[in-house]
């Protein structure tokens, strides 16, 4: 039964709830975010649904999202098999935890990451080094065919983005030869195209875990996560074995120190460390690399944007030294290309869901305790009233009087207490990776191929369709 005053939305059928209407809309429009656009059109900015066992509310538009994200009533994170299976059937990590446990852990993680790299100087060096490695990888591809190489771009960045994070976490750099890591990234990417931020079939209809574990995707979900746990566990064990209390090498060391010092009843544990690493692995690397994937797709479609970035690079950096993060204030156009790349990615991706921790109201509607709140970020980042032409890749939209101006409605990193803690690193990576590649190379559509499509692949986070670029060395005048 719909609770009285619950937000308007599709009918609730027995067992299925609104799942059929939502699935139908998704089929017609091709994407969950487009289906939600249609629901907003029909019912308004706060839409109420029931999908299987989950009572869900889709929150859309700047006003509603800002209000929801800034109120403690909605600071909870969803419960249920999807969210807990990934962390050993417990509520662990940072992405999907709440209450005092999450507050304490989030505070600790932010403080320690600042120590090991988020602080401006440390992070700048780290990101610059990794951008250098990325350029080197492209140089190698070109060494075999100096007249130009066809490079798959949609997955060109994952490893290097992950390295910026993993150096801080565990002093590790991976290479393309680390096959288990490359396989894991591919498996997770693939898995994420079959789930979405609103849940998974086996989570909304938990009985499917038992009667149809394979068909509902449950077995695959568990198997891939077990493989990831094993992979991350090896590094944690290595840190425990070589731990020296007098020499803190990275985040893992300080976390282990905290476990040793804080005792059994504290929120610090090896499983929590493993869950934090897993959250970082997922939230930190694929979001940034997919933003870069969207960015380069639009650069191929808009050679004039690429040329303007290169003109700015020539004027500010020149050909003989590498771009640095310190150049960013003098490169508003390239910085805006980074902002626009992230907008194009999150303009098709939902935020991490929240949960109402008590009976409350939002925009005049009654929201019962335990309702899952789905944050429709595309409704703001693709809002015509805010951006005018949101579908167009137009970095100039962020420039006012020659400086970068970020409107309040630019919220790809969320809002409020759960706001993304990797924003600084993500923006730095997208800026510097883009600048470093465009300083050395030109990117064009391979001869005979059409422009890469802007149709994306739906999933937990949106991805570009696979595409390649013809990469050549830049010729300086
Ligand atoms: C372009 C890249 C990125 C985008 C678009 C992005 C976006 C987001 C969004 C929308 C949220 C949810 C905020 C909310 O619930 O209101 C979030 C949370 C989070 N992000 Fe990011 N993120 C990015 C990169 C990163 C990076 C590099 C890291 C790692 C350092 C990271 C770690 C996290 C964590 C741990 C959370 C959970 C925060 C909490 O609930 O306390 N993200 N991110």
Residue 81 has what pLDDT?
75
Tell me phi and psi for residue 57, to 5 degrees: -130, 125
Distance 423 CA to ligand 1 centre (A): 7
Residue 458 has what pLDDT?
84
For a ligand 1 pocket test, name from 93, 165, 422 the mutation site with the most ligand atoms within 8 angstroms of its C-beta.
422
Residue 205 has what pLDDT?
73
- pLDDT tens over the chain, length 477 residues: 889 999 999 988 877 778 788 888 888 888 888 999 999 999 999 999 998 888 999 999 999 999 999 999 999 999 887 778 778 888 999 999 999 999 999 999 999 888 777 655 578 889 999 999 999 999 999 998 888 999 999 889 999 999 998 888 888 899 988 888 888 788 777 777 777 666 666 677 777 777 777 777 778 778 888 888 888 899 999 999 999 999 988 899 999 999 999 988 899 999 999 999 989 888 888 899 999 999 999 999 999 999 999 999 999 999 999 999 999 999 999 999 999 999 999 999 999 999 999 999 999 999 999 999 999 999 999 999 999 999 999 999 999 999 999 999 999 999 999 999 999 999 999 999 999 999 999 999 999 999 999 999 888 889 999 999 999 999 876
- Looking at the CA of residue 69, tell me the nearest atom of ligand 1: 16
Residue 153 has what pLDDT?
95
pTM for the whole thing? 0.94
Distance 413 CA to ligand 1 centre (A): 6
Is the minimum distance from the CB of 168 to ligand 1 under 6 angstroms? no
Residue 313 has what pLDDT?
97
Distance 351 CA to ligand 1 centre (A): 9
The closest residue, in CA terms, to atom 18 on ligand 1 is: 420
Helix or strand holding residue 33 (H, E): helix 32-43
Is the minimum distance from the CB of 433 to ligand 1 under 6 angstroms? no
Is the minimum distance from the CB of 422 to ligand 1 under 6 angstroms? yes
Query: Does 420 appear as a known binding residue?
Result: yes
The closest residue, in CA terms, to atom 17 on ligand 1 is: 420
Residue 201 has what pLDDT?
67
ipTM of the complex: 0.99
Q: Other C-beta atoms within 10 Å of 173: how many?
A: 16
Residue 284 has what pLDDT?
84
Residue 357 has what pLDDT?
97
Q: At a CB cut-off of 8 Å and minimum separation 6, what does 348 contact?
A: 31, 33, 378, 382, 456, 462
Is the minimum distance from the CB of 429 to ligand 1 under 6 angstroms? no
Cα(309)–Cα(305) distance, rounded to whole angstroms? 6
Residue 212 has what pLDDT?
74
DSSP-derived secondary structure letter, 329 = G
Distance 352 CA to ligand 1 centre (A): 8
Distance 452 CA to ligand 1 centre (A): 28
Q: Which of 16, 455, 376, 461 is nearest to 194 (CA)?
A: 461
Is the minimum distance from the CB of 412 to ligand 1 under 6 angstroms? yes
């Amino acid at each position: 039964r719909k609770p009285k005053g619950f937000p308007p939305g599709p009918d609730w059928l027995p067992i299925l709830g609104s799942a059929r209407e939502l699935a139908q809309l998704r089929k017609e429009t091709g994407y969950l975010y487009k289906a939600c656009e249609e629901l907003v059109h029909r019912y308004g900015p706060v839409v109420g649904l029931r999908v299987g066992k989950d009572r869900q509310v889709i929150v859309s538009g700047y006003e509603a999202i800002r209000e929801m994200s800034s109120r403690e009533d909605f600071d909870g994170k969803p419960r249920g098999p999807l969210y807990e299976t990934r962390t050993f059937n417990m509520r662990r990590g940072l992405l999907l935890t709440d209450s005092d446990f999450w507050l304490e852990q989030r505070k600790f993680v932010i403080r320690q990451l600042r120590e090991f790299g988020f602080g401006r100087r440390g992070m700048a060096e780290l990101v610059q080094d990794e951008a250098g490695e990325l350029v080197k990888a492209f140089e190698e591809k070109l060494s075999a065919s100096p007249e130009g190489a066809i490079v798959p771009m949609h997955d060109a960045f994952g490893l290097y983005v992950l390295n910026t994070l993993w150096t801080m976490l565990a002093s590790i750099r991976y290479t393309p030869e680390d096959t288990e890591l490359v396989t894991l990234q591919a498996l997770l990417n693939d898995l994420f195209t079959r789930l979405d931020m609103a849940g998974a079939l086996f989570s909304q209809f938990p009985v499917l875990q038992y009667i149809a574990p394979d068909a509902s995707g449950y077995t695959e979900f568990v198997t891939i996560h077990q493989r990831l746990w094993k992979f991350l566990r090896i590094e944690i064990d290595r840190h425990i074995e070589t731990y020296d209390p007098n020499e803190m090498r990275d985040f893992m060391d300080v976390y282990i120190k905290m476990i040793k010092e804080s005792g059994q009843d504290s929120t610090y544990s090896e499983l929590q460390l493993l869950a934090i690493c897993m959250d970082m692995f997922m939230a930190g690397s694929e979001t940034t690399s997919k933003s870069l994937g969207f960015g380069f797709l639009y650069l191929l479609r808009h050679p004039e944007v690429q040329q303007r970035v290169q003109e700015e690079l020539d004027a500010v950096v020149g050909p003989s030294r590498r771009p640095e993060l310190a150049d960013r204030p003098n490169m508003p156009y390239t910085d805006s290309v980074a902002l626009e790349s992230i907008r194009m990615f999150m303009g098709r991706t939902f935020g991490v869901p929240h949960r109402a921790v008590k009976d409350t109201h939002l925009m005049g509607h009654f929201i019962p305790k335990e309702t899952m709140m789905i944050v429709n970020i595309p409704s703001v980042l693709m809002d015509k009233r805010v951006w005018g032409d949101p579908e167009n890749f137009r970095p100039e939209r962020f420039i006012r009087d020659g400086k970068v101006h970020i409107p309040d409605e630019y919220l790809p990193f969320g809002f409020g207490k759960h706001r993304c803690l990797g924003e600084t690193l993500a923006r730095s990576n997208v800026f510097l990776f883009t600048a470093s590649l465009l300083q050395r190379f030109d990117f064009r559509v391979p001869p005979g191929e059409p422009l890469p499509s802007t149709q994306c692949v739906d999933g937990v986070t949106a991805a570009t369709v696979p595409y390649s670029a013809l990469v050549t060395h830049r010729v300086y005048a």
